[in-house]
Structure 1
Amino acid sequence: MRVRFGGAWIADSEDVLVLFEPGRYPVAYFRDADISPDALERTEHTTQHRDLGSTAWYTVKGGEQSAHRGAWQHIDLPDHAKELNGRVAFAWRAMDAFYEEDERVLGHAADSYHRIDIRHTSRRLVVRRGDRVIADTTRPLVLFESGFAPRWYVDRADVDESALIAVELQTFCPYKALCNYYDIGDTKKAAWSYREAYTEVSRISGFVSFEPDIVSVQLDGTELHIEPGQSVIPHGPDRDLTVDEALPPRIRP
């Protein structure tokens, strides 16, 4: 894995550790020896991690650029986390880009335990906003994703697309690609779609999913709701990430 900042490669390692913490995206930690000696400048700022102890913060330098508190290191690790001794993590959005070999890693470090399964079903899914039926289908796709509630996707042929108002907001999922959102009337961000999902989840490309806590989504007559802890915290594209880079390789210009 490599880190690029200010037009320079500031970290290059074949020995990266990835830290997984509940409720947080995976974070890559690099050995001091694999980081450019001029890339880090220790600041006086420290914080306390509830599980990993004292944390020192660095200004990251590359070329003519600098990122204040762009990296950190845990300096008083408990015994169960000694593997992180002498390792530094970089703030994902503060850097220009992260790479695995020659391919840019988008969104965040990959979670090897993260899984997505998509299944076809003949159950009836009906979406309403007030008295208006927005979607009615007996052929939805259900997407099961590690740690989150099942999400139901509807073919556009079964959606009243005149009800969907495209908004400028886009977020990025490292496992599914670039996501576009829709308002329904004055109901904000009530639906979304991955117009060109990655190959691994291409079955949902162009399909529309609806937020059951914003509009009425009924499955076989039962109202769906998202339980606490089952929702996704979306984030925007990485710093300097273009739409072309976020698209699947087969449709990039």
Structure 2
Amino acid sequence: MGLSWQQGPLSGSANGHFLTPEPLPDRLLFAERLRRRMRVRFGDAWVADSENALLLHEPGHYPVAYFPREDVDERALTASGKVTQHKDLGDTAWYAVHAGGRTTERAAWELAAPPGFAADFRGRIAFAWRAMDGFYEEDERIVGHASDAYHRIDIRNTSRTLEVRDGDTVIARTEHPVVLYESGFAPRWYVPTADIDHSRLQPVEGQTFCPYKGLCDYYDVGDARRAAWTYRDAYREVDRIGGMVSFEPDEIEVRLDGERLHLETGQQVTPHGVDRSLDAAEATPHLANPNRARL
């Protein structure tokens, strides 16, 4: 989730509300210094390297890093002449990025004349996540989107009873599930593998990627498509759920202490900010080097 994505406080579908005497604007933008060294790689060259990046949190978007021009390799930028209009921040001027014999059009942009309330963004360049070869904090690649300090995951053991049924057939039953609390989402309940009838789970093709948990595999359960999922090689910070299975309550019957669970409003994840050419090896760096896993 984070500050402005999914059901964050600045998103369009916040889970809570601000306690203010006057209504707030429909859209609130938030800017903050990243306070981490961030680098951008393209065409085997570092095209940006800064300890002074500014993050923009905008409703419905992951945070975007804006780099001071003095920390960007100007030789890598060519103005495209294309200008678009940001609904809050005015004209956006676009650039082609070229290095190492490669060029990608509309791969970077600049707020050409931001309004006074956004003056901190003057003279800053942002790079399109999909267009670059990689974004890094120090020497570690950041996959998915810029790090969001407002996204949090907590995992807790519990002695509650969780049961999953497909009609009259018990698919899973456990008295020690693990619950994962993730910013912007309702609790997700994970079942230890020993408490599952795996003959009822049919693996399906296609994986998704979570920047905080890793690569996700799915199962069909009877006629319920992609009704269960697992992070076989979960990132180290969430490895307590590694190999466990969670079930989608809008696809299959899931009961917690006898009460049926239902998918809450706003829980569907909308894909956004996917890495360019991200492959399984890049999404699971902890498998190649356990000391460099990241959340």
Q: Please, what TM-score do these two structures have when normalized by structure 1? A: 0.91
Per the alignment, residue 109 of structure 1 pairs with 146
Q: Hey, what's the Cα distance between the residues in 1 that align with 2:39 and 2:241?
A: 31
Misfit runs of 4+, over 4 Å: 234-237
The answer to whether structure 1 residue 252 and structure 2 residue 288 are counterparts is: yes
RMSD: 2.0
The answer to whether structure 1 residue 58 and structure 2 residue 86 are counterparts is: no
Deviation at 1:142, TM superposition (A): 0.9
Classify 1:48/1:19 alpha carbon distance in 2 versus 1 (closer, same or farther; 3 Å).
same
For residue 185 of structure 1, the aligned residue among 219, 222, 225 is 222
More strand by share: 1
Deviation at 1:248, TM superposition (A): 5.0
Deviation at 1:236, TM superposition (A): 8.7
The answer to whether structure 1 residue 123 and structure 2 residue 160 are counterparts is: yes
CA contact (8 A) 1:172 1:235 kept: no
Per the alignment, residue 195 of structure 2 pairs with 158
CA contact (8 A) 2:40 2:48 kept: yes
Deviation at 1:80, TM superposition (A): 2.7
CA contact (8 A) 2:218 2:229 kept: yes
Per the alignment, residue 249 of structure 2 pairs with 212
Deviation digits for residues 198-246 of structure 1 (CA, Å, limit 9, x no counterpart): 2211111111111112222221222222222233234696223332332
CA contact (8 A) 1:245 1:252 kept: no
Classify 1:132/1:236 alpha carbon distance in 2 versus 1 (closer, same or farther; 3 Å).
farther
Structure 1: which 5+ residue stretches go unaligned?
none
Q: Please, what TM-score do these two structures have when normalized by structure 2? A: 0.79
Task: Output aligned runs, 1:130-145, within 5 Å.
Answer: 130-145=167-182
Deviation at 1:192, TM superposition (A): 1.2
Deviation digits for residues 177-213 of structure 1 (CA, Å, limit 9, x no counterpart): 1211222234322111111212211111111111112
Per the alignment, residue 81 of structure 2 pairs with 44
Q: Hey, what's the Cα distance between the residues in 1 that align with 2:83 and 2:253?
A: 46
Task: Output aligned runs, 1:88-107, within 5 Å.
Answer: 88-107=125-144
CA contact (8 A) 2:164 2:170 kept: yes
The answer to whether structure 1 residue 69 and structure 2 residue 72 are counterparts is: no
CA contact (8 A) 2:227 2:248 kept: yes
Matched to 2:59, the amino acid is P
Classify 1:187/1:176 alpha carbon distance in 2 versus 1 (closer, same or farther; 3 Å).
same
CA contact (8 A) 1:171 1:179 kept: yes
CA contact (8 A) 2:145 2:274 kept: no
Classify 1:72/1:140 alpha carbon distance in 2 versus 1 (closer, same or farther; 3 Å).
same
CA contact (8 A) 1:197 1:248 kept: no
Q: Hey, what's the Cα distance between the residues in 2 that align with 1:131 and 1:79?
A: 63
Per the alignment, residue 117 of structure 2 pairs with 80
Matched to 1:6, the amino acid is G
Classify 1:60/1:136 alpha carbon distance in 2 versus 1 (closer, same or farther; 3 Å).
same
Q: Hey, what's the Cα distance between the residues in 1 that align with 2:216 and 2:272?
A: 10
Deviation digits for residues 51-85 of structure 1 (CA, Å, limit 9, x no counterpart): 32222222221222222221222223233322111
**Equivalent position SS for 2:147:** coil
Task: Output aligned runs, 1:227-238, within 5 Å.
Answer: 227-234=264-271, 238=275
**Equivalent position SS for 1:244:** helix
Classify 1:79/1:99 alpha carbon distance in 2 versus 1 (closer, same or farther; 3 Å).
same
Classify 1:7/1:134 alpha carbon distance in 2 versus 1 (closer, same or farther; 3 Å).
same
CA contact (8 A) 1:58 1:69 kept: yes
Per the alignment, residue 3 of structure 1 pairs with 40
Q: Hey, what's the Cα distance between the residues in 2 that align with 1:74 and 1:229?
A: 31
Q: Hey, what's the Cα distance between the residues in 2 that align with 1:131 and 1:68?
A: 56
CA contact (8 A) 2:43 2:98 kept: yes
Q: Hey, what's the Cα distance between the residues in 1 that align with 2:92 and 2:86?
A: 7
